[in-house]
Amino acid sequence: MQRRIAKLSITLFMLAFFISAGIVQAALFQPLPYEDRVNGRNSHAYNPAVGHPTEEEQAAFIDSIKNAAVTVGTANGIPASAIIGMACVEGGYGFTRSAWYANNIFGIKIWAQNPASGWQLKGQPDEDSGRVPVLAVFGKDRFIFDENSRYDNWYRKFDSRTEAIDYLASFIRRKYPSAPANYKKRIAAGWSYAKASKAFCREIADLGYNHLGGAYYEKKIGTVMDRWNLYRYDEMAQNK
């Protein structure tokens, strides 16, 4: 009995050590070069957690944000289906690194150095046109950067997913006010929720929200909205 207790104590001690060292959580994701110089890849920064999200986890993620999406969407004239669809795509159903560690389910960046409200995605590929200092090179896609001097891999940190949704809505209303206004007009004119929501996604992307353009973003988000029939939440918002 004492031997079992001793083994259990050692196991718990080692687990606590690994957690404090970030090893258990780091193992959720494919390694970055500064985490593993042999197997690490900078492009792994954008991948979701290994083995995630499962079908059940995807459904659970949608369930966890649907009420906030309806409430915030109603208050801001933004389709709840688009909010949820964007979170699923941009946040990997809650399993991207920024979503996991910073509740940033939309991949919202802050172009600044060590911002107070930021979380840094260390090891992310250089997005600053080659101006990020490189400390070591182990091959293609295997760079260790000087993270202390970077402006290009900081993401806004939120206390909750609801806070992230609130921020997104206020950002869209401030930056692209025509999109919510046009969404309301289209619904009033008899457009289906699906058609109006997809048009909303296209419009914000064409206005600058996504650099790949409206057609791409409409298809990308629309595919997820269709798959989960997220338009039922637009109807729910309309009937509130």
* SS3 of residue 139 by DSSP: coil
Assess if residue 118 is contained within a domain: no
CATH number, position 100 = 1.10.530.10
**What does the radius of gyration of the chain's CA atoms come to, in whole angstroms?**
21
- pLDDT at position 4 over 90: no
118-120 and 134-137 beta bridge pairing: unpaired
Domain that holds residue 70: 53-108+157-238
- Please measure the distance between the N-terminal and C-terminal CA atoms of the chain and give it in whole angstroms: 60
Assess if residue 25 is contained within a domain: no
Q: Phi and psi at residue 136, in whole multiples of 5°?
A: -155, 150
Assess if residue 39 is contained within a domain: no
Q: Which two tokens stand for residue 159?
A: 């206390």
- Residue range 83-95, pLDDT digits in tens: 999 999 999 999 9
Cβ(169)–Cβ(155) under 8 Å? no
Assess if residue 129 is contained within a domain: no
pTM for this structure?
A: 0.88
SS (H, E, C) 30-45: CCCCCCCCCCCCHHHH
| Percent helix / strand / coil, the chain, rounded to 5 | 55, 5, 40
Domain count, the chain: 1
Cβ(66)–Cβ(81) under 8 Å? no
Q: Phi and psi at residue 212, in whole multiples of 5°?
A: -85, -5
Cβ(238)–Cβ(73) under 8 Å? no
- Residue range 125-165, pLDDT digits in tens: 999 999 999 999 999 999 999 999 999 999 999 999 999 99
- pLDDT at position 19 over 70: no
